[in-house]
C-alpha cells in the first residue's frame, strides 16, 4: 500500500510539477544583487568551419558563412545561455518580441534567449522559399513554409524549452531558442560575458547551456545589492 501511494504521489508530482510547483512568481525586486562573469572554454579553440552552401547559391552564397555551433572568443564561449534554474520568486517576467532574421540563408541571431510567452517574428528578406521548422517537444512543434511573398511569420512560444529551429530547404540553417521560465537568463556576449540583475538575496543553482557542449551548473550565493562574480568552464567531453 505504501509503495502504491508513493507511486501515485510520484505520478501526481510528475503531472503537476512542471507547471504549478515550479511556477514562477514575479514582483518588483528591491535591494537585489546580481550575478556576472564569463564562461570559459577549456581546450583549444576550434577553427571556424566554412559552411558549404549547396543550394540557392545566388542568394545564399552572397556572404561567407561559418559553422556557429561553437564560437570561442578570447578563450570564452559565445552564444551560451546562463540562467538560474531554481528561482521561484523574483522580478517580473515580461514577454518580449524577438526577431529572427533569415537574411542570406542564415539565422540571426544564432541563439536567442527570451521568457516564455514571448513572440518570435521570423523574417524572410531573401525572396526564396524557406521553412521554419521547430524541433520542439514541450511546445507544439511547427513547420511553416515561408515563400517569397511571406516576408514575416510570427509564432508565440508559451512554454519553457530549448528549441532547435531548422530550415529543411537549406540544411545548414540552424538556430536555437532558449525559452526561459524565469526572467533570470543571459546570453553570453561576444566576449563570453553575462550578467543577471535584480536577483533577490539567496543561494541559487546557476546553469550554463550551450548547444554543442551541453550543460554545467554551480551554486551561487547572492547578497543584497552586491555583485556575485562567477566563472564557468566548459569543454568538449
Partner 1 sequence: MAVRGIDEKEEKKSYGSVFLLGSGLLVVISLWAFWDDNITRRPWKAVQAAFYRLDYRKAREAYEAEDKKLKADPAYQELAKKLAEEQASLKKGASANKLKALKADEIEADIGFGNLDQKVKFIKSELEEAWYEYDHAAQQGRDIKPYEEHIRGLDRQKAKLDPELDAARAKRDQIRDEIKKIHAGVKELETQLAKLAADRDKWIRVIDNVTVKLGPLSFYKIPNIRQLTLPEFDRNRFDEPMARVDRCQTCHLAINRPGFENEPEPFRTHPRREVLLADSAHPPEKIGCTTCHEGQGPAVNSREQAHGEVHYWEFPLRRKTQAQSSCVSCHFDAQRLQDAPLLAEGQRMFEQMGCTGCHLVKGYEDIPKVGPSLRRISAKVDPSWMVRWVENPHSFRPNTRMPNFDLKENDATSIAAFLWSVSKEEGDQWLQEHPAPAGLKEGDAALAAKGKALVESIGCKGCHGFADGEAATVLGKEKEIIPNLKNIAAKVGARWTYHWIKNPRDFSPATRMPSLRLTDPEALAIAAYLTTLGAKSEAIGGIEEKFQDAKNIKRGEGLVRKYGCFGCHDIAGMEKESRIGVELTTFGSKTLEDLFFGNRTEVGRNWDDWTYNKLKTPRIYATDRVEQVMPQFNLVDEDIKALRIVLAGFRERKTPPQYAADRGQRVTQVVEGRRLMHQYNCVGCHEIENRGGFIRKYYEQNPGLAPPILNGEGEKVQAHWLFGFLKEPIPIRPWLALRMPTFNFSDQEANALVAYFNGLSKVEVPYAYFDDRKVPKEHLDASRILFGKDYFNCLSCHQQGEKKPEGPSEGWAPDLNLARNRLSPAWIIKWLQDPQKVQPGTKMPSFFPGGPDNILGGKDERQIEALRDYIMSLGKGAAAPAGGRVASR
Q: Note whether 54 binds partner 1 by CB under 8 A.
A: yes
Figure out which of the listed residues 72, 169, 187, 230 binds partner 1, where binding follows CB under 8 A.
169
H or E element, residue 151: none
CB of 150 to partner 1, least distance (A): 6
Contacting residue, 38, 100, 132, 213, with partner 1 by CB under 8 A:
132
Q: How far is the CB of 94 from partner 1 (least distance, A)?
A: 25
CB 77 within 8 A of CB 234: yes
Give me the phi and psi of 21, to 5 degrees please: -60, -35
Binding region for partner 1 (CB under 8 A) out of 25-33, 49-57, 76-84, 219-227 = 49-57
Length of the chain as a residue count: 237
Q: Which residues pair with 222 in a beta bridge?
A: 202
Cβ nearer to partner 1, comparing 22 with 169: 169
Query: In Å, how far are 11, 16, 113 from 192, measured between CA atoms?
Result: 40, 36, 15
Nearest to 50 by CA among 32, 40, 63: 63
Selected from 72, 93, 123, 128, the binder of partner 1 by CB under 8 A is 128
Give residues in contact with partner 1 (CB under 8 A).
1, 5, 8, 12, 54-56, 128-129, 131-133, 135, 141-150, 168-171
Amino acid at each position: 500500500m505504501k509503495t502504491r501511494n508513493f507511486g501515485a504521489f510520484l505520478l501526481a508530482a510528475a503531472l503537476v510539477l512542471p507547471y504549478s510547483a515550479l511556477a514562477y512568481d514575479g514582483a518588483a525586486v528591491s535591494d537585489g544583487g546580481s550575478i556576472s562573469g564569463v564562461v570559459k572554454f577549456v581546450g583549444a579553440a576550434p577553427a571556424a568551419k566554412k559552411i558549404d552552401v549547396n543550394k540557392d547559391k545566388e542568394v545564399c552564397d552572397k556572404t561567407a558563412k561559418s559553422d556557429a555551433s561553437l564560437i570561442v572568443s578570447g578563450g570564452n564561449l559565445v552564444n551560451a545561455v546562463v540562467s538560474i534554474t531554481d528561482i521561484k520568486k523574483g522580478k517580473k517576467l515580461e514577454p518580449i518580441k524577438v526577431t529572427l532574421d533569415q537574411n542570406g540563408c542564415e539565422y540571426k541571431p544564432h541563439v536567442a534567449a527570451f521568457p516564455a510567452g514571448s513572440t518570435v517574428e521570423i523574417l524572410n528578406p531573401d525572396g526564396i522559399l524557406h521553412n521554419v521548422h521547430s524541433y520542439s517537444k514541450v511546445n507544439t512543434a511547427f513547420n511553416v513554409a515561408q515563400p517569397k511573398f511571406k516576408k514575416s511569420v510570427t509564432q508565440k512560444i508559451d512554454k519553457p524549452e530549448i528549441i532547435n529551429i531548422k530550415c529543411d530547404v537549406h540544411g545548414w540553417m540552424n538556430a536555437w531558442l532558449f525559452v526561459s521560465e524565469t526572467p533570470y537568463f543571459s546570453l553570453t556576449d561576444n566576449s563570453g560575458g553575462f550578467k543577471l540583475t535584480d536577483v533577490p538575496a539567496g543561494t541559487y543553482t546557476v546553469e550554463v547551456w550551450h548547444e554543442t557542449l551541453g550543460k554545467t551548473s554551480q551554486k551561487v550565493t547572492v547578497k543584497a545589492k552586491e555583485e556575485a562574480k562567477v566563472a564557468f568552464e566548459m569543454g568538449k567531453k
